[in-house]
Amino acid sequence: MKRHLISAADLSRGDALLILDTAEELASLADRPIKKLPTLRGRTVVNLFFEDSTRTRISFEAAAKRLSADVINFSAKGSSVAKGESLKDTALTLEAMGADAVVIRHSASGAAHRLAGWVRGSVVNAGDGTHEHPTQALLDAFTIRRRLKGATARGTALDGIRVTIVGDVLHSRVARSNVLLLSTLGAEVTLAAPPTLLPLAVDTWPCAVSYELDSELPKSDVVMMLRVQQERMTAAYFPSVREYSRRYGMDAARMAKMPDHAIVMHPGPMNRGVEIAAEVADSVRSTIVEQVANGVTTRMAVLYLLLGGTEFPEVTS
């Protein structure tokens, strides 16, 4: 594995399987009386969050703490960033504190990549603008594998599994990372979205594209709903929320068109009633709560594999 996790494209099929299998072993930790391992004792993980986040930050914090790492949380509000400090200066400050890993969430695409050039520790991208969110893709792949393959999941990839990703692909780092990772793992990915919410170069992505959701449902094993990111929308991408919801929202009628084994995913936070109806979100076929639990295990696997080994990874890689 590379020293940083910036993009889902950094992961080879072997790397991705190693992370998923490691997460599979770590999942049993949740059932044990002591949910902690001594593996990263004495290591420092800095959570550097320039953008609001609840589940990702808490998830990384829980993951690092369960591996006994020391965690420093940094959020832009109430810090020197509010006084105008640049990303580089903030990074150098953290570097001086001896961070072994920096988990970064930033509103600018490419922030994690820039940071990787400035710090000695490993950089984990926890979402940069509309670019990537690789650990979300890993936890989604882990959830898909567990749900669809159950006990036989270990060591297997997602070959032949059909995944439809629905909605605001344009503003979604989750969609990009998922397309890259899921296709690396052998899944067949289709994007279903209105033309205005698809990025310009989507034809270069390793996936199919459809403007219709209904025709994709019967042939999907997994339907992943994306949040409509109103905070990033600077123009009118669809006539009205109601029209969007009618054509691309997941409701009970649409769920009924999916095969019986198929699951509905959502990376959260949800806009109930917009891209997903409450009755779907709370149904047994929805994996939304599972995704949160799996997030901790998957991030533990990532932190262990990046930090758990030798302190000089470049010598051995």
Partner 1 sequence: MGATGHPVAGRDGLAVLDAEEIRRSLTRIAHEILERTHGGDGVVLLGIPTRGVPLARRLAARIGEFEGVEVPCGSLDVTMHRDDLRFRPARALGRTDLPPSGVDGKTVVLVDDVLYSGRTVRAALDALTDLGRPRAVQLAVLVDRGHRELPIRADYVGKNLPTSQREVVHVLLAEVDAQDAVMISDEGRPS
243 binds partner 1 (CB under 8 A): no
d(CA 62, CA 299): 9
What are the structure tokens assigned to 225, written together?
């709903």
CA 86 and chain centroid, separation: 26
Q: Does the protein bind partner 1 through residue 38 (CB under 8 A)?
A: yes
Residue 270: exposed, middle, or buried by beta-carbon count in 10 A (0-12, 13-18, 19+)?
A: middle
Regarding 309 and contact with partner 1 (CB under 8 A), the answer is yes
Compute CA distances 205 → 18, 153, 201, 279, whole Å. 24, 27, 7, 32
Residue 306 in the binding site for partner 1 (CB under 8 A):
yes
Which of 56, 90, 130, 190 is labelled catalytic? 56
267 CB burial (10 A radius; 0-12, 13-18, 19+): buried
Question: Please, which residue, 38 or 160, has the CB nearer to partner 1?
Answer: 38
Look up 133 and say whether it is catalytic.
yes
The sign of the dihedral angle between the CA atoms of 227, 233, 238, 242 is: positive
Residue of 129, 199, 273, 308 that binds partner 1 (CB under 8 A): 308
Is position 105 annotated as part of the catalytic site? yes
Nearer to partner 1, 33 or 84 (CB): 33
Q: Report in angstroms how near the CB of residue 177 gets to partner 1 at its nearest.
A: 22
With respect to partner 1, which residue has the nearer C-beta, 21 or 251?
21
Task: Please report the beta strands in 169-301, taking only residues with DSSP state E, as ranges in sequence order.
Answer: 188-192, 208-210, 222-225, 263-265
CB of 7 to partner 1, least distance (A): 20
Nearer to partner 1, 18 or 292 (CB): 18
Question: Do residues 1 and 172 lie in contact, with contact meaning Cβ atoms separated by under 8 Å?
Answer: no
Query: Cα separation of 172 and 132, whole Å?
Result: 8
Q: How far is the CB of 35 from partner 1 (least distance, A)?
A: 9
266 is catalytic: no
By CB under 8 A, tell whether 316 contacts partner 1: yes
CB of 214: closest distance to partner 1 in angstroms?
Answer: 42
Nearest partner of 244 among 273, 278, 205, 279, judged by Cα: 273
Under rule CB under 8 A, residue 26 binds partner 1: yes
230 CB-near residues (< 8 Å, 6+ apart): none
* 113 catalytically annotated: no
Task: Tell me which of 2, 3, 39, 55 is the catalytic residue.
Answer: 55
Q: Identify which of residues 25 and 85 has a Cβ nearer to partner 1 in the complex.
A: 25
DSSP-derived secondary structure letter, 264: E
Number of residues that bind partner 1 (CB under 8 A): 25
Cis peptide before 38 (omega within 30 of 0): no
Catalytic residue among 32, 54, 77, 83: 83
CB of 30 to partner 1, least distance (A): 13
Of residues 22, 56, 178, 286, which one binds partner 1 by CB under 8 A? 22
Residue numbers annotated as active site: 55-56, 83, 105, 133
Residue ranges binding partner 1 (CB under 8 A) = 1, 18, 21-22, 25-26, 28, 32-34, 36-39, 304-311, 313, 316-317
